[in-house]
Chains A and B, each alone.
Chain A
């Protein structure tokens, strides 16, 4: 199966008929093996890359990771399973506070805190999924929106636990000695994130290629036909929500680490809506689309600020410029390229390959 149903291109013209790939080639043909190799290569490239970047660029880059992971979850939920969520910002908040509170009250190692962020959020996601499985379209959007609006207020209501408007401090882990004496916490965090990104991408890529992934898409494409085939629609939807929430929770935990602080102002409904917009702009339902989406989420606001400073725009305009750009991109993408940036990339690659194949 393709990792996305959206991609359906006619081209299996010249197949090496009945010739099984052999040896190394065959091993590399195994999706899991191939993905792991790609992941490790990406990790090494990333490690070499951050050696050449300034601390600020690394910090900026390390903001991409949390969004990327949360977007993978959202993209699978919406693009692959057909459920919409306006509450993923709130799910990130659950992960963020889980990690922060564990750091504050226990002496857990980092990996345990990150796994806990994902698992705790997964439980919340499953509960939300139970509700979501009964709701469709705008009702589902409304229910998840309520979560995004309500959850940040809980942190100010129970201030002694969650830190209120001011939030809580998060200590950043010190770089381990094997990275060298000069490695900063920022660099170490960027590496931790890249590891998380690679692991999450491999897990989801394989999940989508498996039976579960096919069930997700079946539910998305035709609920009645799926039910008739003996697959439980609600159960599949709850599972999709839980897995999606786990990714959002891990993203939230990482985001808390990168920020060095959790406060409700960072997890408002604007975050949830930005995630949704970034997912659509990047390419809904595709893992690569999540990469584009997260890059947009991190870099567009920065460019918007620079732009408004150059044009010396009014403060109230420049504070909202990034959101306006999102809105514009969203409209443009939906009209021009419904599969988002990743759709455009695929189209370009496809065209170029066909050009090369043209004789003469």
Chain B
């Protein structure tokens, strides 16, 4: 009876809800149309144009995903601000072809599910020209296909996974730091040269980062020398690493190689102290920064242990040490830091971020005055291997290899938080032999002074 009437009404109600739903979406949609105003030309014979998405005559928009919160935030949260500070300095010195660079980095909490969302926002909504320094192996893996499908330059991924060096599959993606297989090989070569015959144990993160390092180590050392390899998951770090460290101790490892993020390195060193276990420790460059490590050790031990826990730790270094105040690059970075980045500490993460921004600036300058996205790719492929700057090892870029620094030097940390180089620069690639070289660090160019 009343049924048909009330059901009719209900039908309208459902329509009303759906209509409202559409309205909300449409209202949101209308605010997103991007506009670029042409016109203002800079000095020079050719005018600047809006030659690609994210590029206007006066600006370049870059995006990135960074762990500003979450398990990887300690230390790494400083990289985004350092990159931004370097670009602010470049902007104050005339920009790139007169364009000022805006670097927009969003927090993904080191969670791949978030990375997917923030990168889509940067590419589809903000229309960035390129993604620069997207941080993390598990996180960036979740977006690398999306970026390449959309032909967005995915420059200098802040992760040493060998998986960024696949130009046939991912032509728009470039690694930057030495990949983890290379790091494993360099550490293996150093152990072979200096700790021959000693029992080696490995503590590694259970993903492409730790797994890559393990591959490199195994390439350099006989299987019998590696007595134990213990994995851990970054999500379970709250449980500590006591089990894994005890297993390494039980296996009698005299040298322990750490393929661990800084928080895990600090936990492992503390577990060793608790267990009275004192092996020679060797770490990948991921945990090479004494400032970050000392802070974490002090934090986890509630102030009982400080930088002394790091004493004697061997690690890798492919950029100037942040304590090397006589280095011309460090002098530049310190100047930029005091002007634009003074809220963040001076440490290896700052050097990392500013160095990366410098190499990107080189790439952008090489791409030409009015670059398309493809011009940037072509510039890195054809000229990238010749670029020098703060890096100690040569870059491996070509059309068939998207590899960044091809090696590093070994340094040893001391109790005061400083570090001394204990080897020349080891250079290699994924398959080739390991050779030693002098540093290729170049001078600071005049346009940055």
List residues of chain A with CB under 8 Å of any chain B CB: 2-3, 12, 15-16, 21, 25-26, 28-29, 31, 34-35, 37-38, 41-42, 45-46, 49, 52-57, 59-61, 153, 156, 159, 164-167, 169, 259-261, 263-267, 288, 291, 295, 299, 305, 315-316, 318-319, 345-346, 349
Residue in contact with B33 in the complex, picked from A34, A54, A55, A60, CB distance below 8 Å: A54
Q: Which of the candidate stretches B14-22, B251-259, B263-271, B321-329 sits at the interface with the other chain?
A: B14-22
Residues from chain A with a CB closer than 8 A to the CB of B6 are: 2, 12
Q: Is the CB of B21 within 8 A of A291?
A: yes
Query: Complex formed: what's the CA distance from A158 to B431 in Å?
Result: 30
- B279: CB under 8 A from chain A? no
Pairs A–B under 8 Å by Cβ, sample size 23: A15-B5, A16-B5, A28-B8, A29-B3, A31-B7, A42-B18, A46-B22, A49-B22, A53-B25, A56-B120, A56-B121, A56-B125, A57-B28, A156-B235, A165-B138, A165-B235, A169-B145, A261-B142, A265-B109, A288-B17, A315-B69, A319-B69, A346-B13
Residue in contact with A265 in the complex, picked from B26, B113, B208, CB distance below 8 Å: B113
Q: Is the CB of A12 within 8 A of B2?
A: yes
Asked, given contacts A34-B11, A260-B145, A345-B17, whether A53 binds B29 with beta carbons under 8 Å apart, the answer is yes
- B124: CB under 8 A from chain A? yes
Query: Complex formed: what's the CA distance from A53 to B234 in Å?
Result: 39
Chain B residue, CB-CB nearest to A346: B13
Chain A residue, CB-CB nearest to B70: A319
Q: Is the CB of A316 within 8 A of B120?
A: no
Chain A interface helix/strand/loop/mixed: helix
- B4: CB under 8 A from chain A? yes
Q: Is the CB of B25 within 8 A of A164?
A: no
- B141: CB under 8 A from chain A? yes
New A-B pairs, 8, CB < 8 Å, besides A263-B138, A265-B114: A49-B26, A52-B26, A54-B125, A169-B142, A169-B145, A261-B112, A267-B113, A315-B77
Residues from chain B with a CB closer than 8 A to the CB of A299 are: 24, 28
Q: Is the CB of B137 within 8 A of A166?
A: yes
Residues from chain B with a CB closer than 8 A to the CB of A29 are: 3-4, 7-8
Query: Complex formed: what's the CA distance from A156 to B231 in Å?
Result: 12
Chain B residue, CB-CB nearest to A26: B4
Residues from chain A with a CB closer than 8 A to the CB of B106 are: 305
Query: Complex formed: what's the CA distance from A253 to B29 in Å?
Result: 26
- B111: CB under 8 A from chain A? yes
Query: Complex formed: what's the CA distance from A357 to B414 in Å?
Result: 85
Smallest beta-carbon distance B30→chain A, Å: 9
- B278: CB under 8 A from chain A? no
Query: Which 7 pairs of residues, A with B, have the shortest CB-CB distance?
Result: A266-B113, A56-B124, A265-B111, A56-B125, A166-B138, A29-B4, A261-B142
Chain B residue, CB-CB nearest to A315: B68
Smallest beta-carbon distance B210→chain A, Å: 11
B176-205: CB near A (< 8 Å → 1, else 0) gives 000000000000000000000000000000
Query: Complex formed: what's the CA distance from A41 to B414 in Å?
Result: 72
Q: Which B93-122 residues sit within 8 Å CB-CB of chain A?
A: 106-107, 109, 111-114, 116, 120-121
Smallest beta-carbon distance A30→chain B, Å: 9
Residues from chain A with a CB closer than 8 A to the CB of B120 are: 56, 59
Residues from chain B with a CB closer than 8 A to the CB of A60 are: 28
Residues from chain A with a CB closer than 8 A to the CB of B138 are: 165-167, 263
Query: Complex formed: what's the CA distance from A263 to B140 in Å?
Result: 12
Smallest beta-carbon distance B18→chain A, Å: 5
Smallest beta-carbon distance A251→chain B, Å: 15
